[in-house]
Structure formats: C-alpha cells, structure tokens
Structure 1
Amino acid sequence: MDLSNTIALILGGGRGTRLFPLTKIRAKPAVPLAAKYRLIDIPISNCINSGLNRVYVLTQFLSVSLHRHLRQTYSFDHFNGGFVELLAAQQTVDEGTDWYQGTADAVRKNLRYIEQPWVEHVLILSGDQLYRMDFEDMMRSHIEADAAATIAGIPVSRKDASSLGIMQIDESGRVNGFVEKPQTEEEIESVRMDPEWIDARGIDSKGRDCLASMGLYIFKKDVMVDLLTQTNHSDFGKEVFPQAIKSHKVQVHLFDGYWEDIGTIRAFYEANLALASENAPFDIRNRDAPIFSRPRFLPPTIVSEGDIQGSLIADGCKIGKNVTIKNSVIGLRTVIGDNVTIENSVVMGADYIEHEENLTEGQIPVGIGKDSVISGAILDKNCRVGKGVKITNAAGTETQGEDEPYQIRDGISIVIKNGQIADGFEY
C-alpha cells in the first residue's frame, strides 16, 4: 500500500498535567522512555516502519528539548522528500496570536502545511502512546471501505470501558455510535458489540464486547479540512470524530496488539517496568519494526559487581560494587555507587558524563550515592542523590509537593529533573 500521498500529524498534547512533574520543563512527547528513547520515538518509528516519512509534530508547551531531539535524530536524504518537523504555536497574520485551544484547533491553525496538492490522506496520531502498528494495514482498510475517515479500534472489557471512548460498529465495520468514557450500564449497553463479530474478523475477542478508540485516525484530506473549517471544534476525540460519524462514512480498523496510553505517572511507571520484564508485552528488540532514536557515541556500561535481574540497562552507565538492581530501568550515563539497591524503579540517567574535577566542594555528584535504597520510584534526569538515601515511600503517601526536588504522584516517589537529595534523606 503506497503512503506517498499521505502526511502524518502527531499531536504533542497540552501541558501534560497528569505527567507532572516529568513535564515540568519538557513537552510530553519528549519524556524519556525505556532507558534510551523518548515517547515521540514511538509514533515516528511506526511511521517510518510503515513507509511514511513525511511527519509533522504539533506542540506548543516547552518544546525546546523536543525540537532538539527531532533535529538530532530524524534526517532523510534529499532525494526521497522525507521530513520530521515540529510545528509549534506561532503568531501569524491569518490565525492571530492565540495558542492552540485543543488538538483540532492545532491542526486547523496549520492547514497551510496540509493543503498541498500531493496530499490526499492525513494520518492523525498521538504523541504519548506505546504500540507498534503497520499503518499500511490501516490505510488498506480505509481505501477498501472508501471511507471518509478510518479510526483504529481495540477490543476491551467492560471494566476498562469507563476510561476510554467506546464505539458502536455495524456489520460492515462502519462506526455509527460513540460514547466518551461510559459510566453507567445503560451507556455501555448502547455501544456494546457482539464478541462473535470481532471473532469473525480474525481477532480473538476473548469475551471482550467493547471497542475502544485508540485515538489514531486517517482522514481524506478534503473531508478533514471541511470538518475543521466549518466548525469551531477544538478537540479531535470529543468533537471532530463524533461529528464525522454523523455526517460521513467512518470505518473502523481493528487492532489487537499491545497498546498503552501513557498519560499518567502510574501508566508511565508501569509501562516502563513492563518493558524490563522477561516476557515484555511490547518487544523493543523487534528487528522488523525497530524503535528509532538519536544515535549516541557512548562507552559500554561498566558493572563492577552486583546482582542485576529483570532490568533494562542503557549505555554509558557506571555501576559500583555490591549493587542490586531488580525489575528496574536504568537510563543513559547513570552512575550508581557501592552498596546501592534499586528495585521497581525508573532511573532516567543523565544528559552528560560528569567529571569529578568539575564538582565544587561539598557538591553531590550526578547519580546515586553509595549505601542508598531506591524502591518504587522515578528518578528524572541529572538527579544528584546523596549517600545513605532511602526513597521508598514507606508511608504510602499518595500525593506530596509541587516545587520540591522530591515529590509523590499516584503513590510513586519522584525526584525531579536536576533535583538534589541530601545525604541521609529518608522518605
């Protein structure tokens, strides 16, 4: 399936408040993932692996690090016309000075980049989901159904339906109903599906009788332009998509692989740890559809002595003596002192390798000091954790702090980027 007439738009999201404080100084798609990647690498890699190399990323909040990552990572030769470019909110003569008011408004204000003669279809993607999909298959569903729009749908159980947008599909696969986060039995019944219908289309329903929107869309360009210019809708999922169902033929594309919306601290934490498990639900080693990211020229990781189980260890790390690491993710350039225990934690590493001669007197080095215990925590980049520190949230506190270097969100301890934790700190 040829995707040369298709352009991809990746929606970078808003302020990312549910991922705070990881989004305190960076855009949501720039949040590190799985020791060496960033969230934005997932949708872009899916595009590249599908043969789609014309990609715009729409964002407006704290986009400097995201822009730097895109610039340093994705470069195509001059002969294939490929690009990955960031479209941040900007002042223009036509649209004025307002920031994006939502996902649909962001696309509306960038229609000049979409209304090009060669573009026939527009692929709308989210910048904060973990999945692997061949968009050629989705485009095939779109073309064969002669649909105005196609949406990716995944079977879910009733207990999961209340946190997702649930669709009702007719026998031909056309979407004719949609309820956002149904909370009552009556709402769920209004959009439930017969599991046998799902089974008949080559996907094992396993009794699941709801089809959830994955937030991935293909639109015919002209249809999308009309939907955006004839209304003031600000959100794709809650407004544009339901409107399209009423006025156009919208087809479903069934998907049943791993898919996780990494929109909260808890989801981010659990998805990372799942990637470190022996039978990870998402294969980061898939050679046929790899995850692309910025190439780095780092030394191999050095492990002096320790017990490492069920963990991801990135390049450039220095791990001391008698270190225990279990069910954890250890990011690039992480320095771990002697007698340290790290369990069920995500350590994002550092942006640079620090030399001891550059430290001022009494300054805590970047990394984790000796005799420390880190459990059930997220340590953002460039953290300076002193000696004998214990970060375990033993009291089970759910939420704490706004500006402090140590915070708790969703019951998970977090040391913010560039945060410093003094020797002997315990919480």
Structure 2
Amino acid sequence: MERVARMRDTLTVILAGGRGSRLEPLTRDRAKPAVPFGGLYRIIDFVLSNCLNSDMRRLLLLTQYKAQSLDRHINLAWRNYFCRELGEFIDVVPPQQRIAGNWYSGTADAVYQNIYAIEREQPEHIVILAGDHIYKMNYGPMVDHHRKLDADITIGALRVGVDEARQFGVMQTDLDGRVIGFQEKPENPIPTPEDPEFCLASMGIYVFNARFLYEQLCADATRMDSDHDFGKNIIPRAIDSHLVCAFPFLDENRKSDAYWRDVGTIDAYYEATMDLISIDPQLNLYDKHWPVRAFQPMLPPPKFVFGSEGISTRRGTAMDSLVCQGAIISGGSVARSVIGPGVRINSYSSVEDSILFDEVNVGRRSRLRRVIVDKGVSIPPETEIGFDPVADAERGFKVTESGLVVISRGELITPHCPAEPAAVGQAGG
C-alpha cells in the first residue's frame, strides 16, 4: 500500500546541471552527471537505478550545463523503462527561464525556476536528489518515514569523519531524529555526541511536503541576502519553526561499510574507478538484488588476439582489469585498467593503471601509465604518456598533483618516446 501511494503522489526531481569544474577536462564537453564511470556507466546511472529500484517512476531531470550528452544518454538508456500510459515518466527539463531571465544561481533556485513543471504533476511529496553521486539506496523507506512522521523536510544522513565533514552540510539531531542544528560546509564541524570523531552529514537527499516546499522557495526567491541553496538557506531557516528530520543512509551495496562517493575531483574519480578492479571492490556491480542499469551498445564481446606466438612476442592480455564490449586487445597488454567500449589496444603496446573511454585507439608500441583518456582519442604509435609528469605537462596535458595525466576529448597527440625506450618486456602488463 505504501508503495502504491509513493508511486501515485511522489515526484522525484534530480538536479543534473552541475558543471563539475574540478573534473575538467572530462567535463569540458559534458555535464558532470554524464561523465563515464566504470567503463559502461555514466555517473547519472547510479541515482537513476536507485529511483527505478525504489519504484520511483515519476522523474524530472533538471539540466543546465552542456546537457546534450546527458540528454542523448537518457534517450538511449532510460526512456524504455518508463510507461507514460501508466503515469510513469523521465522528463529532461532544460532551463526555461519562465520565472527569471538568469541561469540557476543555486540548488533551490533550480527547483524554484521549474516550479511550474513540478506543480503540474500535483505531487504531495517531492524527493530532491543530486545526479552526480555514486551510491546505492532505496528511497522508499525514507519517503515512507517522512509520511509517517508528517515531517516538513526529511534529510538523508551519512556518518563521516570530522575532517571530511567540512565538505558537507552538517546536522545535529535530538534523540528522536529531529534536526536541531545545520551548518553548510563548516570550518569546525560539530561531531556527534556519541562519537567525537564523526559528524552527521547531509547527503543532499531531501523529501519535502510539496506545499511547504513551494512556500519556502517563493519566500527565498525574494530575499536579496540568499544564495538560493537548500543547504545554505532553506534548511537552516526551517529547523526552528518546522519539523525537519534526519533519515540514516540505508546502503543497498551489501558490504560491511557504507558506500557513498562524490567523485568531484580527478583524483577522487580515478580512485573510485580503480577500486572497481580490486579483488573485492567496495562498490558491488555484480549484485542482482540491486542492479545498476546503463546503456548497452550493440557491440560484439571483447576480443583478445595474438596469443600463440610465445610470451616474449605479441600477446593480447588483460589482467586485473574491466574490459567492455567491442574492445579488441590486439597483441598489446593491459594491467589494472578500465577499458571502455570499442577501445583498441594495438600490438606491443601496454596500458597500466589507466582509464580509457569509448573508442580510444592505442597505437603500436605505445605505453600508458596512470592516464585517463577521453572518448575517441587516438594515441599515435610509439608514444609514452604517464612516465614523465613534467614532459606531459609541457605537451599541454592535464597533470594532477598526484601525477595522474588526463587526455581530453579531441586532443591531437604527436608521437613522443624517450631517446632510449624501455624494452617491451619491461613495459608492464
């Protein structure tokens, strides 16, 4: 019965317009939620899979920054899961400037500027989600908890370390779970009473009573001193006069530790991706209980060729790696890497500790180490990247503080190899 009510009177609004400037150049041509992750997926696929698995089938996806890639992905991967005749939908809503002539100035303003589209669906409850986090969660129990308490706002809550809490909104609650304090990205986070090393952080997951949300958004829009943000303005102003509750994160990842990641920087994105190739990754992509859906391109299975000429010559191998459909490992070696759909690794080349997006071509005798290569890039034969950070930076590549190299989409790469290249047998793999 609760599931039926949730389907009928709940609308989910997903904020998917984030620019993700700290992920550049991966976000140079796409919004952060559209960035590929784990070879086959996009970041947005995780929150959308959560919605589908939670029987939340009335979705508005609010876009803004370079949304063409995201819009195309939604059309290819997600439209067929929703039946309009049964009241189900996933609608991509670009900025319409119905209320103001400006772009969205904050999370609350993004929802406010689309209040017409939201009201048209006549929901009783509104779930607001960020489209750029990686986690597994059933939103149903949170919505049901909100309904039973008749709360005005319910906030998804995650325990994080005090140092990490500076990046979040931090809550304080009473014994009944009512939020009695909220600070957005505080310099000195207030720890939980039971454990001074941890704080209770907001996950950016909210359930609102619809009428209350409309009132708060309209009042906030007239305030000149507001950032028009849920964490900075809407929630702190509501906790003294309305019922604001915290709901603990119920992880569907089925691991001993809760998994929630904001892959907001290149290094954080790389670390989360590399975890997928470990023997027992923290993020379980193989759990049939909570499937993560994605676009499945019509490509043949991955192929490994040239394995009969002896180990010292050409041999197509991939060890401790994820290799997507359509990839051809043609006489090259791959180790501890994620290889996207349609990638080709040519003879005598080696790829180590790297992430290759769709349709990347690695030329003969090239060597890549700790490199992220964006979609469609061609690496010329006899090219080395990732072995000399100074040389890589001089060539115009993005190099992080940890020495990770990022090759952006459309990059024209000239061959580069040191004067005395290492022997193929020492190249790794």
Which bracket does the TM-score occupy, shorter chain normalised? 0.7 to 0.9
How much does 1:308 deviate?
2.2
Q: In structure 2, how many angstroms separate the alpha carbons of the residues matched to 1:175 and 1:418?
A: 48
| Residue of structure 1 equivalent to 2:23 | 19
Separation in structure 1 between the aligned mates of residue 150 and residue 112 of structure 2, nearest angstrom: 24
Asked if 1:142 corresponds to 2:146, the answer is yes
* Structure 2 unaligned regions, length at least 5: 252-257, 306-314, 419-429
Alpha-carbon distance change, 264 to 338 in structure 1, aligned in 2, over 3 angstroms: same
Q: Secondary structure at the match of 2:399?
A: strand
TM-superposed deviation, 1:14: 3.2
Matched to 2:192, the amino acid is M
Q: Are 1:393 and 1:413, in contact at CA under 8 Å, matched by a contact in 2?
A: no
325 and 98 in structure 1: CA distance in 2 versus 1, 3 angstrom threshold: same
Structure 1 Cα separation of the partners of residues 296 and 317 of structure 2: 29
Pick the aligned partner of 2:214 from 214, 219, 225.
225
Residues 344-403 of structure 1: CA deviation (Å, up to 9, x unaligned): 2111122xxxxxxxxxxxxxxx51111111111110100110111111153479x958xx
1:202 alignment counterpart: none
Q: In the TM superposition, what are the counterparts of 1:404-419 in structure 2 within 5 Å? A: 406-410=397-401, 411-419=403-411
| Root-mean-square deviation (Å) | 2.2
Amino acid at match of 1:170: D
With the length of structure 1 as denominator, give the TM-score of the two structures.
Answer: 0.86
Aligned counterparts of 2:263 and 2:212: Cα–Cα separation in 1: 29
Q: Which residue of 1 aligns with 2:372?
A: 378
**CA distance, structure 2, for counterparts of residue 235 and residue 138 of structure 1:** 22
Alignment map for 1:146-161 (pairs within 5 Å): 146-161=150-165
DSSP-derived class of the 1:79 partner: helix
Structure 2 CA distance for partners of 1:97 and 1:421, relative to 1, 3 Å? same
The answer as to whether partners of 1:276 and 1:310 remain within 8 angstroms in 2 is: yes
1:90 aligns with 2:70: no
Once the two structures are TM-superposed, the CA of residue 306 in structure 1 deviates from its matched residue by 3.5
**Identical-residue share of aligned pairs (%):** 35
Cα deviation, 1:186-220, whole Å, max 9, x if unaligned, reads: x33xx321337xxxxxxxxxx85311111111111
Structure 1 residue runs of 5 or longer lacking an equivalent are 197-206, 351-365
Report SS of the residue matched to 1:162: helix
Match of 1:199 in 2: none
For the 8 Å contact 2:333–2:350, the answer to whether it is kept is yes
CA distance, structure 2, for counterparts of residue 252 and residue 133 of structure 1: 15
Equivalent in 232, 237, 241 of residue 238 of structure 1 = 232
CA contact (8 A) 1:318 1:334 kept: yes
**What amino acid sits opposite 2:301 in the alignment?**
P
Structure 2: distance between partners of 1:218 and 1:195: 26
1:37 pairs, out of 38, 41, 63, with 41
Q: For residues 275-333 of structure 1, what are the alpha-carbon distances to aligned partners after superposition, in whole Å with 9 as ceiling and x for unaligned?
A: 22221111111212111122321111111134422211110001111x33222111110
Residues 59, 87 of structure 1: 8 Å contact kept: yes
Q: Give the Cα–Cα distance (whole angstroms) in 2 for the partners of residues 345 and 224 of structure 1.
A: 44
SS in 2 for 1:421: coil
Measure, in 1, the Cα distance between the counterparts of 2:396 and 2:89. 38
State yes or no: 1:79 paired with 2:69: no
Q: Secondary structure at the match of 2:220?
A: coil
Distance 1:117 1:315, change over 3 A: closer
- Tell me if structure 2 keeps the 8 A contact 1:315–1:332: yes
Find the counterpart in structure 2 of residue 335 from structure 1.
344
Q: Against the structure 1 CA distance between its residues 22 and 213, is the aligned structure 2 distance closer, same or farther, given a 3 Å change threshold?
A: same
Q: Give the secondary structure class of the aligned counterpart of 2:56.
A: coil
- What residue identity is the alignment partner of 1:320? S
Distance 1:195 1:275, change over 3 A: farther
* Mapping for residues 348-363 of structure 1, pairs under 5 Å: 348-350=357-359
Residue 308 of structure 1: which of 293, 312, 318 is its match? 318
More off after superposition, 291-300 vs 155-164: 155-164
Deviation at 1:38, TM superposition (A): 0.7
For residues 142 and 71 of structure 1, what CA distance do their matches in structure 2 show?
32
Q: 1: distance between equivalents of 2:15 and 2:273?
A: 22
Q: Which moved more, 1:28-37 or 1:247-256?
A: 247-256
Give, in whole Å, the separation in 2 of the partners of 1:335 and 1:14.
31
1:133 is aligned with what amino acid? M
Q: Deviations over 1:65-88 (max 9, x none)?
A: 111111122222343221111111
Matched positions, count: 391
Query: What letter corresponds to residue 51 of structure 1 in structure 2?
Result: D
Aligned to 1:360: none
For residues 76 and 209 of structure 2, what CA distance do their matches in structure 1 show?
Answer: 32
Tell me which amino acid in the other structure corresponds to 1:216: I
| 1:139-288 equivalent positions in 2, closer than 5 A | 139-183=143-187, 187-188=188-189, 191-195=190-194, 208-232=197-221, 233=226, 234-255=228-249, 257-288=258-289
Return the TM-score normalized by structure 2: 0.86
CA offset at residue 253 of structure 1? Answer: 0.9
In the alignment, the residues of structure 1 paired with residue 11 and residue 204 of structure 2 have an alpha-carbon distance, to the nearest angstrom, of 17
In the alignment, the residues of structure 2 paired with residue 310 and residue 195 of structure 1 have an alpha-carbon distance, to the nearest angstrom, of 41
State how far apart, in whole Å, the 2-side matches of 1:241 and 1:259 are. Answer: 22
